Amino acid sequence: MGYITVLLVALSLTMDNFAVSLACGCGPDIKNKDIVKCGSFFALAHIIMFSVGWFGGELAERYIDGYDHWAAFFLLLFIGGKMIKEAFSEKEECFNIFKNTREIILVSLATSMDALAVGLSLSFAAVNFTFAAASTAVFVFITTFLGFKLGRKLNAKFGKRAEIAGGIVLIGIGLKILLDGIK
């Protein structure tokens, strides 16, 4: 497997966290340091799950495979539901993933579940672990940053509708992960 293929695989792993950061990127009060914090958590979660898949291989898959899609679904359902609920509240502030670190960790884990399977697969393909893990982390960080920035622009233009759409997107991603997992 060539370097270009590994880069494309790493980029494909970022789609869930890009959608989450786009959905959560509302509000003018989000600071760059918050986005960097979130991007770092997302990247770290992907590296951990990728490494568990790579080094834990079949053992990790045997214990996690039966319920990882359920966990991701419920985490994203919870966060998406909170976004929608806050969009309908009387307060003018939008859902803010940065309110506590626990929510960032939950979302990070939910969006990195697929990195476990990719880590396992790439370990069998004899690619360079450091290159694959580093590529994934860099792409996750960059797409998270871009997603938050784009989400902020969309929210400025569409307001509460953007927040509701973001919550629906998170629930949809969770549902997709669940349906893919129960095939």
- pLDDT value of residue 137: 95
Residue 47: pLDDT band (50, 70, 90) is: very high
Question: Is the separation of the CB atoms in 46 and 140 below 8 Å?
Answer: yes
Question: How much is the average pLDDT of 2-12?
Answer: 84
- pLDDT value of residue 98: 66
Instruction: Quote the tokens at residue 28.
Output: 């003018």
How many Å apart are CA 157 and CA 161, to the nearest integer? Answer: 9
pLDDT digits (tens, 9 = 90+) for 149-180: 888 787 767 767 766 776 787 788 778 878 88
Q: Is the pLDDT of residue 94 over 60?
A: no
- pLDDT value of residue 41: 94
The number of residues making up the chain comes to 183
Residue 8: pLDDT band (50, 70, 90) is: confident
What does the domain layout of the chain look like in residue ranges?
14-181
Report CA 6 to chain centroid distance, whole Å. Answer: 19
Among 75-79, 119-123, 160-164, name the most confident range: 119-123
Question: How much is the average pLDDT of 53-65?
Answer: 70
